[in-house]
Amino acid sequence: METFRLASGAEARLTNGARPLAVVLVNGGQAAEVEGTWSASLEWLVRRLAPRFPELALLDVRYRVKSWRRLELCAEDARAALDAVEERGAQACALVGFSMGGAVSALVAGRESVRAVVGLAPWLPDQLPLEGLAGRRLAVIHGALDRALPGVPGVTAASSRRGFERALRAGAEDAGYTLIPGAGHAVALRAPWGLQPLPRARRWAELLAAELERFAAGYGS
Q: How many residues does this entry show for the chain?
A: 221
Does 171 score more than 80 pLDDT?
Answer: yes
Which DSSP helix (H) or strand (E) runs through 215?
helix 201-219
Q: What is the pLDDT of residue 149?
A: 72
Does 221 score more than 60 pLDDT?
Answer: no
Q: What is the pLDDT of residue 122?
A: 97
Q: What is the pLDDT of residue 165?
A: 97
Mean pLDDT score, 138-165: 90
Does 114 score more than 90 pLDDT?
Answer: yes
The CA distance from 55 to 38, in Å, is 23
Q: What is the pLDDT of residue 166?
A: 97
Does 151 score more than 80 pLDDT?
Answer: no
The domain spans of the chain are: 2-219
Those residues whose C-beta lies under 8 Å from the C-beta of residue 70, and which sit 6 or more positions away, are 33
pLDDT top residue among 132 and 193:
132
Fold of the domain built from segment(s) 2-219: Rossmann fold (3.40.50)
Mean pLDDT score, 76-87: 97
Mean pLDDT score, 143-151: 83
Question: What's the pLDDT band for 67 if we cut at 50, 70, 90?
Answer: confident
Closest CA relative to residue 109, chosen from 78, 140, 84: 78
Question: What's the pLDDT band for 193 if we cut at 50, 70, 90?
Answer: confident
Does 34 score more than 80 pLDDT?
Answer: no
Percent of the chain scoring above 90 in pLDDT: 85
Q: What is the pLDDT of residue 80?
A: 98
Q: What is the pLDDT of residue 68?
A: 67
Q: What is the pLDDT of residue 141?
A: 98
- Strands 194-197 and 188-191 turn out to be antiparallel
Mean pLDDT score, 89-107: 97
Predicted TM-score (pTM) of this structure = 0.95
Question: What's the pLDDT band for 150 if we cut at 50, 70, 90?
Answer: low
Which DSSP helix (H) or strand (E) runs through 165?
helix 157-169
Does 74 score more than 90 pLDDT?
Answer: yes
Query: 7-26 burial string, b = 16+ CB within 10 Å, else e?
Result: ebebbbbbbbeebbbbbbbb
